[in-house]
Chains A and B, each alone.
Chain A
Amino acid sequence: MSQNTAIESDTRLVKGDHDFASITKLITDIPQERTPLWWYIAFGISNVLLAVMLAMVVWLVYQGIGVWGLNNPVGWGWDITNFVWWVGIGHAGTLISAILFLFRQGWRTAINRFAEAMTIFAVMCAGLFPAIHVGRLWTIYWIFPLPNSMQLWPNFNSPLLWDVFAVFTYLVVSTLFWYVGLVPDLATMRDKVKGKISRLVYGTFALGWTGGNRQWQHYEKAYMILAGLATPLVLSVHTIVSFDFAVSIIPGWHTTIFPPYFVAGAVFSGFAMVLSLMIITRKLYKLEDIMTVDHIEKMNIIILVTGNMVGFAYAMEFFIAWYGGVEYEKFAFINRAFGPYAWAYWIMVTCNVVAPQFFWVKKFRRNIALTFALSIVINIGMWFERFVITVTSLAQDFLPSSWGYFSPTYVDVLTYVGTFGLFFTFFLLFLRFLPMVAISEVKGVMPQADPAYYRSQNGNSKSTR
């Protein structure tokens, strides 16, 4: 896209001495070079984990959800925790590709492709959990409004059904958006690869793109519209996920702060995940000129902001529980912090509220090793946030006689670990075969892309620091 084209001096988005051809080469060489050894190792491990996940799912379907650690008060355990966690991770991709696009943030071009891929695979992992958690997987189609022999229809009053529509729409729209962005770059791949078959495959998916302005004109319009559609969608998806909890009457769930709090948490954990993946990838593929320290700093600022929003929400929940004066609500929150799950609560607070405070300092924001470490910490923290919300409220609600305690079984643990196999299997295939940076968009934010660049003293004055 052609936003922010008048970038000057050291605020340049692409570092190093690059022209259009060197950017093309940098990105398109990656799928063409020999597959590196680390890729095979990583792919092998991912495949093993994926197989473990499939085995656990088969075992679950065969035996029933009793193989999980669920018990009578705690009917939602790791399954829903994992679902919310994975969907939340996906949100950063859409935020980067859609919301930052609408705000004309040129720096998004370096990471949007990458983050959108992450979104799609994360939502796939997320979708698995509610599907298998229904227990009778073979009747899963009942969640869709399809004519059936009982002449029954799904209950549109239920937030769980809203969730089906929201997450399904999210997966479809994210995929369409991703593919639209890919088309010009697939055409670049088509024009660069040597092999006949790879040319045919890339060419087929590039649909005959010629880079003509009559195509770009509609393309830019479509991109803008899709960004405009994805923006309210991404905010609505986690809002609706939070309705799964907030619309019920369980103490600790029935709060109006949930939608904004969930969305902020989703962006928070998603950016952490993008950073974890990006810091490794830019090193392995030597993309430091495109995914620069400036990008890392900007993302850390977003992490700081959303992290503090999450921290504020934790405090606000407590305040409202006290101020609202409902006894069960008060108990639910005191119990979270000091009850049997206090360990999980304080892990959550340490990881999500304390850890991001490092990013107030510019030096820490630009420190890659620290950023990587904190991004992992934040993802752990956000998993615990969902665990605390889901499990503590169910374990101790109204009647002490029906209280319980949830402990996961090996099936819970291995299914969750296995979803990383699903995620990384797809993600590694993406890194291997598709242009992982939006080539045309990166070129579009380079100063040389602006016709005005050539009209002022042959561009010499603008390209130097």
Chain B
Amino acid sequence: MSTKDKPYGVLAEFDNPADLMDAASAVNKAGYKQFDTHSPFPIHGMDDAMGLKPSKLGWIVLVHGLIGLLGGVALQVWSMDIAYPVHISGKPYLNFPAFVPVTFALVILLSAFGTFFGLFKMNKLPRLHNPLFNSDRIAKATDDSFFISIQATDPIFAEKKTIEFLKEIGATHTEIIPES
């Protein structure tokens, strides 16, 4: 592959999850910020090795759940008591116990939407193109290989030094990924 332009970053391959985890830890300690590890399945303990903060997805879901809760109560109170109160077999207009199932369903529904769209928002997906896919090897990240990618935009990125560093910490193969 040609590297006439500025590269997107480098990609290093590792043998197994344990090597990947050690390497991720080393990359993190070396001070890199814009790097990622790629594996066919989530590896337990990798978040700590990479020094990632806990996911904030739960807060997004909480907000959506609360919207579902308030919206559900508002919908039922408004339509049953304010918009068009109908007398139904002697039941009170504001029959809160009867409003529980629908409110509950709406909390779950809104929370699920929050989780689903929040997940893809946080992951910056869907994404039509990613320079990572310029590498032929990255396809194996969804099969049986383990990779670390470091982006060229990282402040301490230096093409040669970074590659050497990755080889030092056990990469079995390294390559430069072009921007396009």
A positions within 8 Å CB-CB of B = 1-2, 5, 19-21, 24, 145, 151-157, 159, 161-162, 165-166, 168-169, 172-173, 176-177, 179-180, 184, 187-188, 190-192, 204, 207-222, 225-226, 229, 232-233, 236, 240, 243, 439-441, 443-444, 448-455
- Number of A-B residue pairs having CB atoms within 8 Å of each other in the complex: 215
Residues on the B chain within 8 Å of A177, using CB:
112
**Contacts A211-B39, A215-B125, A226-B115 given; 9 further ones with Cβ under 8 A?**
A207-B126, A210-B132, A218-B55, A225-B111, A226-B116, A232-B104, A236-B101, A236-B104, A450-B17
- Taking the nearest CB of chain A, how far is it from the CB of B42, in angstroms? 4
CB of B61 within 8 A of CB of A449, answer no
User: In the complex, what residue of chain A is closest to B147 when comparing beta carbons?
Assistant: A211
Per-position contact with A for B56-89: 1 when CB-CB < 8 Å, else 0?
Answer: 0110010000000000000110011001101010
Assuming the contacts A213-B50, A222-B57, asked whether A20 and B108 have C-beta atoms less than 8 A apart, the reply is no
Q: Does B109 count as interface, using CB distance less than 8 angstroms?
A: yes
Assuming the contacts A173-B112, A191-B143, A208-B126, asked whether A165 and B42 have C-beta atoms less than 8 A apart, the reply is no
Return the contact of B122 from the options A151, A159, A218 (Cβ within 8 A): A218
Residues on the B chain within 8 Å of A19, using CB:
144
Offer 17 A-B interface pairs, CB within 8 angstroms, sorted by A: A2-B43, A153-B80, A155-B88, A156-B79, A156-B98, A172-B112, A179-B116, A191-B143, A192-B143, A210-B132, A211-B39, A211-B142, A212-B37, A214-B36, A217-B47, A219-B123, A449-B17
B positions within 8 Å CB-CB of A = 16-21, 24, 36-47, 50, 52, 55, 57-58, 61, 75-76, 79-80, 83-84, 86, 88, 91, 95, 98-99, 101-102, 104-106, 108-109, 111-113, 115-116, 118-120, 122-123, 125-130, 132-133, 138-144, 149
- Taking the nearest CB of chain A, how far is it from the CB of B126, in angstroms? 4
- Taking the nearest CB of chain B, how far is it from the CB of A17, in angstroms? 15
- Taking the nearest CB of chain A, how far is it from the CB of B11, in angstroms? 11
Residues on the B chain within 8 Å of A159, using CB:
101
Residues on the A chain within 8 Å of B119, using CB:
180, 218-219, 221-222
User: In the complex, what residue of chain A is closest to B122 when comparing beta carbons?
Assistant: A218
Assuming the contacts A156-B102, A180-B119, A222-B116, asked whether A20 and B61 have C-beta atoms less than 8 A apart, the reply is no
CB of B44 within 8 A of CB of A5, answer yes
CB of B101 within 8 A of CB of A20, answer no
CB of B36 within 8 A of CB of A212, answer yes
Assuming the contacts A173-B108, A191-B139, A448-B16, asked whether A222 and B126 have C-beta atoms less than 8 A apart, the reply is no
Return the contact of B102 from the options A151, A162, A179, A204 (Cβ within 8 A): A162
- State A440–B38 Cα separation when bound (angstroms): 13
Residues on the B chain within 8 Å of A162, using CB:
101-102, 105
CB of A221 within 8 A of CB of B111, answer no
CB of B44 within 8 A of CB of A161, answer no
Residues on the A chain within 8 Å of B129, using CB:
208
CB of B83 within 8 A of CB of A213, answer no
- State A100–B126 Cα separation when bound (angstroms): 29
User: In the complex, what residue of chain A is closest to B16 when comparing beta carbons?
Assistant: A454
CB of B105 within 8 A of CB of A443, answer no
- The 4 lowest CB-CB distance pairs between A and B, nearest first, are A20-B144, A208-B127, A153-B79, A454-B18
CB of A165 within 8 A of CB of B102, answer yes
CB of A225 within 8 A of CB of B61, answer yes
CB of B61 within 8 A of CB of A156, answer no
Residues on the B chain within 8 Å of A188, using CB:
40, 142-143
Residues on the B chain within 8 Å of A448, using CB:
16-17
CB of B143 within 8 A of CB of A440, answer no
- State A303–B169 Cα separation when bound (angstroms): 51
CB of B141 within 8 A of CB of A211, answer yes
User: In the complex, what residue of chain B is closest to A2 when comparing beta carbons?
Assistant: B44
CB of B84 within 8 A of CB of A151, answer yes
CB of A165 within 8 A of CB of B101, answer yes
CB of B17 within 8 A of CB of A221, answer no
Return the contact of A225 from the options B20, B58, B79, B91 (Cβ within 8 A): B58
Return the contact of A451 from the options B18, B55, B118 (Cβ within 8 A): B18
CB of A214 within 8 A of CB of B45, answer no
User: In the complex, what residue of chain B is closest to A216 when comparing beta carbons?
Assistant: B42
- State A62–B40 Cα separation when bound (angstroms): 53
- Taking the nearest CB of chain B, how far is it from the CB of A224, in angstroms? 9
- Taking the nearest CB of chain B, how far is it from the CB of A85, in angstroms? 21
User: In the complex, what residue of chain B is closest to A161 when comparing beta carbons?
Assistant: B102
Residues on the B chain within 8 Å of A236, using CB:
101, 104-105, 108
Residues on the B chain within 8 Å of A184, using CB:
40-41, 142
- State A125–B76 Cα separation when bound (angstroms): 29
Assuming the contacts A156-B79, A225-B111, A236-B105, asked whether A455 and B18 have C-beta atoms less than 8 A apart, the reply is yes
CB of B86 within 8 A of CB of A24, answer no
- State A454–B140 Cα separation when bound (angstroms): 20
- State A165–B102 Cα separation when bound (angstroms): 6
Residues on the A chain within 8 Å of B102, using CB:
156, 161-162, 165
CB of A156 within 8 A of CB of B76, answer yes
Residues on the B chain within 8 Å of A440, using CB:
40-42, 142
Assuming the contacts A151-B84, A222-B115, asked whether A213 and B43 have C-beta atoms less than 8 A apart, the reply is yes
Assuming the contacts A229-B115, A454-B18, asked whether A449 and B43 have C-beta atoms less than 8 A apart, the reply is yes
CB of A441 within 8 A of CB of B41, answer yes
- State A159–B105 Cα separation when bound (angstroms): 13
Residues on the B chain within 8 Å of A218, using CB:
55, 57, 119, 122-123
CB of B143 within 8 A of CB of A210, answer no
- Taking the nearest CB of chain B, how far is it from the CB of A245, in angstroms? 15
- Taking the nearest CB of chain A, how far is it from the CB of B125, in angstroms? 4
- Taking the nearest CB of chain B, how far is it from the CB of A462, in angstroms? 13
CB of B40 within 8 A of CB of A1, answer no
Return the contact of A207 from the options B16, B52, B106, B127 (Cβ within 8 A): B127
